[in-house]
Chain A
Amino acid sequence: DGGITQSPKYLFRKEGQNVTLSCEQNLNHDAMYWYRQDPGQGLRLIYYSQIVNDFQKGDIAEGYSVSREKKESFPLTVTSAQKNPTAFYLCASSADRGPSYEQYFGPGTRLTVT
């Protein structure tokens, strides 16, 4: 079955450590996205990528980094510079970046930093 996988589902880290969240898709989609979800705030865009080796900052990119070396993979690194990293992180993909292309979401990773 085609879809998006995010691993792990739950992740715990100590403050000051970088952590990388995995996102893999087998939908052959060109565009991929990372969103952050906090209670009562909906989803906010962190980074997006339209194509391999290209990515753009979203609304809350500070303290995060990404790479897009393969079409199917778009890992997100939460660095120690991110002031409030505890959140639910959602990865999505779409065939193209345009608005008529549905975004498919992964199951999410809940990151807790203490």
Chain B
Amino acid sequence: AQSVTQPDIHITVSEGASLELRCNYSYGATPYLFWYVQSPGQGLQLLLKYFSGDTLVQGIKGFEAEFKRSQSSFNLRKPSVHWSDAAEYFCAVHTGRRALTFGSGTRLQVQP
């Protein structure tokens, strides 16, 4: 069965600093990959997705992610973090069978 690992439970960065959130997946073929963001007590919003083609995908709010097949990774990046980016971020995969499988999430804190 597919699985998703987000090794960082909690990350703190300073406002204006760059950000990279890690995501590794386990699946025999190339899955469909997603990053979602969740503000406290809210639903999830899709940041970006990868299906095929260019391995660097751009999303909303200035985020991007890079798919690396050799490392089974799909890390999320942002060059300059804003205070409003503080939230929880979830990586997810969809193998075409049922629904999304989510990682356990990374909580981002932004220091002024």
Contact = CB atoms under 8 A, between A and B. Distances in A.
Interface of A: 4, 33, 35, 40-45, 48, 56, 58, 88, 90, 92, 97-100, 102-103, 105-108, 110
Interface of B: 4, 6, 9, 31-32, 36, 41-46, 49, 51, 90, 92, 94-96, 98-105
B43 A106 contact: yes
A11 to B, nearest CB: 14
Nearest to B103: A42
A106 B105 CA distance: 18
Contact of A107 (B42, B46, B92, B104): B42
Contact of A90 (B43, B46, B104): B43
Contact of A99 (B36, B44, B95): B95
Contact of B102 (A43, A88, A100): A43
Contacts of A45: 98-101
13 contacts: A35-B102, A42-B4, A42-B90, A42-B102, A42-B104, A43-B92, A45-B98, A99-B94, A99-B95, A103-B100, A105-B44, A107-B42, A107-B43
Nearest to B101: A45
Contacts of B4: 42
B41 A110 contact: yes
Given A40-B104, A102-B49, A108 B42 contact: yes
Residue of B41, B90, B96, B100 ringed by the most chain A CB atoms within 10 A = B100
Given A41-B104, A42-B104, A99-B32, A58 B44 contact: no
A48 B104 contact: no
